[in-house]
């Protein structure tokens, strides 16, 4: 029935005020969806506990079983009905894995399926914990990654991972809502997904908003990285924690730089934990840097350093400039951030004259490498000019003259000579 057919203005307004909820008007029960009104035969045993883009979720009070009901107006949408059934089938196929929401029955005539009730989401658990120690945070993170590693091993992706789709039950992690899930062993090239179903924005791989159906294991890795931020800091965007470098790789805008799957992400988390547990690790790493070595541990070490300490190491540790260059050389965004922060940091300190030279020499490496974007090289050139001209460092002046004689793009040359 269309709203236009509701004669009473008051009745129409009452209905619109309770959009998407079951309401009573003039003694009858209605539900409004897409400006159409549906008469509802109410089951007094059902309590609504949530709703999404395609379905209402109820708890049956008599037995605590959850029922997920597809919206009636979507019954004739074959693609959505298939997606709803696939959600049940994917979850059912994973029932032998510990940590997957228990599902029971799919009722094809009513477009309903049943599952176990879990009363606390990860979001609620984290946000309502007054104190959450690192040991428990790590346990939660490893629990989630262990489950998803097994799911990915089945060649199944979730594509809607977020703290509201993960539950905590008796200190155990349970992952649910495979509504956007996909079995990569089945060809779905012609299937499309409505954009309003693409997960929670802060946790969803940005590529899924552009390529809709093309979410893969790396999309889940992106979401898992944001979930790690949330567990560590109650904020999916905040990377200031012990797994900073791991999360930055997991959430890279360049999907090929991300971990291949949840198992690789779990391996990186375990390496990071081992790294932080070694008391003498910093001296070991400094020695490796002085030997001009570079590996994942050195990369992780640099990624977690504050800018002032990076400046000190650049001045004090032989070959640190080489390690720092390797750290930024394949990521222009990271290079821009690092060069910009260093260009501001060195001005805040009274350095030894030779230390100004070390900063300038590092920036010369940036200017001489055309793989960096112009904004990166522009900032580096300004630092070189300041040390060479404003601080009157002859050694750097001679190096500036050489790169100009060898040939450098006019815009950079103008900065160096200004």
* Interior angle at CA 227, CA 225 and CA 233, nearest 5: 105
Reduce the DSSP state of residue 390 to 3 states and report it: helix
What is the pTM (predicted TM-score) of this model?
0.61
pLDDT digits (tens, 9 = 90+) for 17-45: 554 455 555 444 555 556 666 665 557 78
Residue 418 CA to residue 400 CA, distance in Å, equals: 12
Q: CB-based burial of residue 7 (10 Å sphere; 0-12 exposed, 13-18 middle, 19+ buried)? A: exposed
Residue 49 CA to residue 88 CA, distance in Å, equals: 19
Residue 198 CA to residue 313 CA, distance in Å, equals: 44
Higher-confidence position of 17 and 171: 171
Cα 343 off chain centre by: 29
- Residue 317, φ and ψ in degrees, nearest 5: -110, 120
Q: Are the beta carbons of 367 and 380 closer than 8 angstroms? A: yes
Residue 164 CA to residue 227 CA, distance in Å, equals: 10
Residue 205 CA to residue 159 CA, distance in Å, equals: 8
In a shared domain, residues 306 and 262: no
In a shared domain, residues 306 and 406: yes
Which residue has 């630092």 as its token pair?
383
pLDDT digits (tens, 9 = 90+) for 274-329: 888 776 778 889 999 999 999 988 998 998 888 999 999 999 999 999 999 999 99
Where residue 230 sits, what CATH number does that domain have? 1.10.510.10
pLDDT digits (tens, 9 = 90+) for 94-103: 999 999 999 9
- Residue 143 included in any domain: yes
Integer angstrom CA distances of residue 160 from 40, 106, 253, 260: 30, 21, 18, 17
In a shared domain, residues 136 and 228: yes
In a shared domain, residues 263 and 346: no
In a shared domain, residues 344 and 253: no
End-to-end CA distance of the chain: 74
Q: Tell me how many domains the chain contains.
A: 3
Domain that holds residue 5: 1-42
In a shared domain, residues 327 and 229: no
- Residue 269 included in any domain: yes
């Amino acid at each position: 029935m269309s709203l236009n057919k509701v004669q009473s203005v008051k009745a129409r307004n009452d209905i619109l005020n309770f959009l998407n909820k079951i309401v009573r008007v003039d003694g009858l029960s209605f539900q409004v969806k897409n400006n159409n009104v549906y008469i509802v035969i109410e089951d007094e045993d059902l309590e609504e506990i949530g709703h999404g883009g395609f379905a209402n979720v109820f708890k049956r009070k008599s037995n605590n079983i959850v029922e997920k009901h597809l919206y009636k107006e979507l019954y004739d949408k074959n693609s959505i009905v298939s997606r709803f059934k696939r959600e049940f089938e994917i979850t059912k196929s994973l029932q032998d894995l510990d940590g997957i929401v228990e599902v029971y029955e799919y009722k094809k005539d009513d477009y309903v399926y049943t599952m176990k009730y879990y009363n606390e989401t990860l979001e609620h658990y984290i946000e309502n914990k007054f104190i959450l120690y690192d040991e428990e945070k790590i346990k939660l993170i490893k629990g989630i990654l262990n489950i998803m590693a097994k799911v990915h091993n089945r060649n199944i992706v979730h594509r809607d991972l977020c703290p509201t789709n993960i539950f905590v039950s008796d200190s155990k992690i349970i992952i649910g809502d495979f509504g956007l899930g996909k079995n990569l062993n089945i060809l779905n090239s012609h299937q499309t997904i409505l954009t309003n179903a693409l997960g929670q924005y802060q946790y969803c791989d940005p590529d899924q908003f552009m390529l809709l159906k093309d979410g893969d294991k790396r999309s889940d890795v992106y979401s898992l990285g944001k979930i790690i931020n949330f567990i560590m800091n109650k904020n999916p965007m905040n990377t200031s924690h012990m797994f900073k470098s791991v999360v930055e790789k997991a959430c890279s805008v360049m999907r090929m730089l991300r971990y291949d799957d949840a198992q690789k992400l779990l391996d990186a988390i375990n390496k990071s934990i081992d790294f932080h547990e070694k008391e003498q690790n910093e001296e070991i790493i400094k020695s490796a840097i002085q030997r001009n070595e570079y590996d994942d541990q050195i990369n992780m070490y640099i990624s977690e350093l504050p800018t002032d300490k990076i400046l000190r190491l650049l001045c004090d540790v032989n070959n640190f400039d080489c390690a720092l260059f390797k750290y930024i050389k394949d990521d222009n965004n990271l290079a821009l951030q690092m060069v910009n922060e260093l260009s501001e940091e060195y001005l805040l300190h009274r350095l030894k004259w030779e230390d100004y030279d070390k900063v300038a020499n590092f920036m010369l490496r940036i200017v001489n490498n055309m793989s960096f974007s112009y904004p990166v090289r522009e900032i580096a050139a300004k630092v070189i000019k300041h040390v060479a001209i404003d601080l009157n460092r002859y050694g750097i002046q001679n190096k500036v003259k050489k790169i100009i004689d060898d040939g450098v793009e006019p815009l950079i040359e103008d900065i160096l000579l200004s």
